[in-house]
Amino acid sequence: MKLNRPSLSERYLEAIANTLIRQQRPLILLTGAGFSNEVMPTTSELEPLLSRLLADAGITLNKKETKNSKAVWQLIKKRESLFKQIFAAWCARINVAPQHRIVAQMFYHGQITHLISFNWDNLIEKAYFAIYKQQIPKVNREGIIPKGPCLWKLHGDVEDLAGKWVFPYEEGQIFKSLLISLERSLAEYCPRFALIVGYSESEAIVRNKLIRWLEENIETVLRIHPSLDEVRQKGLALSADDFFERLNNHLQYKT
């Protein structure tokens, strides 16, 4: 009798769960806009927010301009404070999704050593506080090297409106303190997996400084994105919510 071989996704999920539970080797998690896209808009879906800002600023676009163009984002950047306030008010009304709760639980239980976010929203922070009634350890500015696992907000933080935000079409940024912390994690935590979830990898600085470091130092760098080509790219064509709910099932089974 021929047994059905587990799917690629099941094999990866089983390997990750084994690494986290039996080997107790936490992973590195990097999240982009696709991590939250069923509750938070991607850049191209921010048009209602941009329309309000442009209207408040009295800016009229010509027929050739779209609200998600580089030129429009440059205009928004000049009114950065107003945009941040509007985004913060809008973000305050958004509820967390299952993947935010699952990641918060994984972090709390020591299964994530570096939780790296390129998103402005605070949905992971909300989920963590709702479950554990405390703030998640977080770094959102350069210069801080924490002693333990942290959430790293590299491109801006809705809970820090005075801090630097990286806007669409701008170069990304990687904190030197993050790279130092990652180097230290190799000896202390020996992570086997780095997950890149819902991130386009479009910023050259991020690719050259962070992604390259992961690929050179971490045994398995796994990309998770619903439009991923699993044949050409090492990863899984799954949405963030599907991946983390399935991973959570594997983790629950092993504990």
At 52 the pLDDT is: 72
Residue 38 has a pLDDT of: 73
> Maximum CA pair distance of the chain?
72
Q: Identify which of 51-60, 68-77, 83-92, 226-235 has the greatest average pLDDT.
A: 83-92
Among 13, 25, 6, CA closest to 190: 25
Question: What percentage of the chain carries pLDDT values higher than 90?
Answer: 69
Among 35-39, 59-63, 96-100, 190-194, name the one with the lowest average pLDDT: 59-63
Render pLDDT for 132-169 as a digit per residue (tens, 0 to 9).
999 999 999 999 899 999 999 999 999 999 999 999 89
Higher pLDDT, 4 or 100: 100
List the CATH code of the domain at 8-40+96-254.
3.40.50.1220
Query: Taking the complete model, does pTM exceed 0.85, yes or no?
Result: yes
The answer to whether the CB of 154 falls within 8 A of the CB of 117 is yes
Rounded Cα gap, residues 187 and 75, in angstroms: 45
**Domain residues of the chain, as ranges?**
8-40+96-254, 43-91
Per DSSP, the chain holds a count of helices (H) and strands (E) of 10, 7
